[in-house]
Structure 1
Amino acid sequence: MKKLALVLVPALVLMLGLPLAVALVVVTMSAPAAAEQLRTVACGGITPITGDWRPPFEQAYTVGQRGFGREFHPTYHEWRMHTGQDLVSQPGPGPVVAIGPGRVTFAGTRAGYGNVVDVEHVDAAGARVLSRYAHLASLSVRAGQSVAAGQQLGVEGSTGDSTGNHLHFEIRIGGAPVDPVPWMLAHGAPLNGNAVAGWTPQPGEEVQEGGVGFPLPPPGSPGQASLRNPPQPIPAQMKGFYVAAAARYKIPWTLLAGIGMEETAHGRLTGASSAGAQGVMQFMPATWATIGVDGDGDGRADITNDADSVMSAANYLAKAGVTGGLAGVRAAVFAYNHADWYVNDVLFYAAAYGGGTVLGSATECGPGEGNPNLPPLTNDRLRTVLTWAVGQVGDRYVMGANGPDAWDCSSFTQTAYAQIGITTPRTAGAQRDWLAAGNGFRVQPQQARPGDLIFYDSYLGPNTIGHVAMVFDPSKQSTVEAMSSDRGVTYGSYAGKASTKNIFEIWRVGNVSDQPTRSAA
């Protein structure tokens, strides 16, 4: 171990320009047990599109055994060069879509490919990229046609030299095939098997990290009040309260209006309920004691004050996880009043008032405490992450950017860990939940190590994680991060943030991988 430290410390300092304290922390993690890579815990939900590229399926899919390189051909029973990656949609053959905007250069039948579509794209650097989709059962496009990202090209099939329904997917640069798995990962669209859906912000809608967002879920059944009480007009003053609270806590104002309609018809039904709930948004005094906030700026939280009541309802929904995907919205409304019919009523009224977009990730990891028994990242893997992160210092910060020369906070950390085959969700909040689901564990600030991820509240309001940074030198409480539009990617500090932020957490990524391996050590 001492010999290893003597070798690694100078090398790490020279490679990264890291302070000696950082290098010393890194080498303490090379215990033999840490060499084992465990499979990442997958999250449910739908992966949003956050850049120019996307996987070739909308539905969930599996990544086939036949990848790029020399593979045994199932038809010819001999070893041949396999120029792409096989993918199989679930639960059965589904539509195949373009991975990005481009022009169809070929659509027809070609030897062993069977029915095949070629699409030529131009990447951010101006280079031409060709994507190929083979063995299709049918074609939906013709040569010369322009297509958008996500536009259907055909249906997955088994034409040509194929032994079963699947998509043979290729990426070609300058006419030569390249491995599509690392290429897609580097372009923000990992082939990880998740279902994928896009979201395009409407005029006037706020865009957060990567333009991530999802519409309010539709109402279901059963309903109750919504079956007999139509949505009432919203008084101007009440709408003002809804809009102000929604702006502070970054949720659709219509969701607050749905609760206001369900509870008191926007204040038309006054007085305490039979259970003792009070105010326009009907809070129990015991709940108010912990959730009530000042909504009108008079310095106190009054349960009977309409502005305070609406602002506190937004506070409650945010604390209950309303930004955590479609299931998170329903769970947050359910927490407000424990009944499925209540949730459906509120969503019915919210839709009637115009619906809206929740600024959050539709990737759903659910609650968790992490796994403190995970082995830490090995030295070489951590070195790769930090080398990449330091190499981006000086790049621009652009909300929604996915590189290669501009990032927002979570695309920066996502891409850093992608360098070692770890696919994290796209937003800061979803990354924290991904760790809590079993891919990492929380550490105290005094236990921080280089590469740990720091999460705290920012532009999404006080109850929602909105920023992520990477620990650089814990002895100085310094970070490397995509900080802001005026600072770009730079070195920062987390000193004092634990006492000034409503949310402040440090998490360590375990020695996990999308494709786990076991060391012979």
Structure 2
Amino acid sequence: MAAPWAVLVPVVAIVAMTALILGSGDRAPERDGCLPDMPRPVRQPTARVVMPLPEGTYSVSSGFGPREGEFHQGVDLAAAQGTAILAATDGEVTAAGPADGFGNWIIVDTDFDGQRLSTVYGHIFDDDVNVSVGDQVSAGQRIAAVGSAGISSGPHLHFEVVPGGRLQGGDRIDPMAWLERAGAPTSTTHTTLAAERRDGPVSSRARLRWAAAAGFDTGCEPVAVAAPGPELRPGVVPPEYEPWIRRAAGTCPEITAPLLGGLLRQESGFNRFAVSPAGAAGPAQFMPGTWASNGIDGDGDGRIEVTSIPDAVMSAARHSCDLIEIAKSGVADGRLRGDLIELWLSMYNCGPGGTFDAGGVCQNAETQHYVKAVPEWAAGYALTGDTTSTSYRRHYRSGHHSSPRSYRAAPCSARRARRLAPHGENGTPAQQLGKEGS
């Protein structure tokens, strides 16, 4: 007679096999070579849209569209300092902190009509940023408070709507029209020109009009600009840069091709891949925050890239024109003194805030050297040997500066490691170590 265990073994095996087959009926087969499925973040479509400021607390001080020959890329909502800034949509915070011209900004990304859409909130003081990158917010939630940080004439919110995403290079649209289409109540009061606000990244001559309205002398005779500006000598800059420098020249009257070439030479030595220890990148050495606010698609290829020669050159010209307008306003209201070219170069190098704090060109050795070196390169690049401002023409005629052909950079401050080495005919340096900021 067979032992009892000899009979039980096949029975147990059959039961186990049956359980295995039945238990696996709801499980998808494993795919060879695949990792386990992981949860993926999904931007939820926004459930509602609200005004970014509470009803009755604001007035439109500057709308979207042409403004003094330029284009305002958002809407300015004047309100008392400290007024709650509300998220206009549900979404995820993708930026919250310093941004050039804005002091601080917040960007909230959401899905709207099946695509990414950013809402942007600017001019926030440091202590009033109430959210962090990665936070999920709801429409109507307080995210900040109205301030006047950055380049601003008074408390207001600069608000933008950007289909496609602000950090992804999307095109900004009229925020008020979008809010109305989305169903947000937009009844408001439009103020007069005297209350118009100047937002950071967008250039405007309105500040000169405010100065005039306030009784300031807005004449700019000490920084008069020659017209027409000097031409670029053929062959003095790398050939891939030359057509874009020529195209960008005249973005505003003060920006000439030789001066723009001199700025690029001093910034990066025409090295499109230059990166400074502080993170400034590309031919024009934009810091990430500055590029996010000021980078433009120079060649129309649909991308905004800091290492792209067309994008960097056209953006540098546009940003320089913005700084020139800020410098003009500072001269007009008496907060700045000095040569216009040196003032905006100071802002490009050490920032508008540092320049206004100094009442003129920043006093650190690096910036003092920078504001002289760029025009020296420009003088060497100019077809006529002339420069861009009357004061510089007098300066060079006096013979106080050597030709850029024999120029060598003085030691820079410890904040920015830079060494300008001898260059060839096209101005390419032997070594370029970068800069701290733009």
TM-score w.r.t. length of structure 1: 0.25
Q: Which has the higher strand share?
A: 1
Highest RCO, 1 vs 2 (Cα 8 Å, sep ≥ 6): 1
Higher Rg: 2
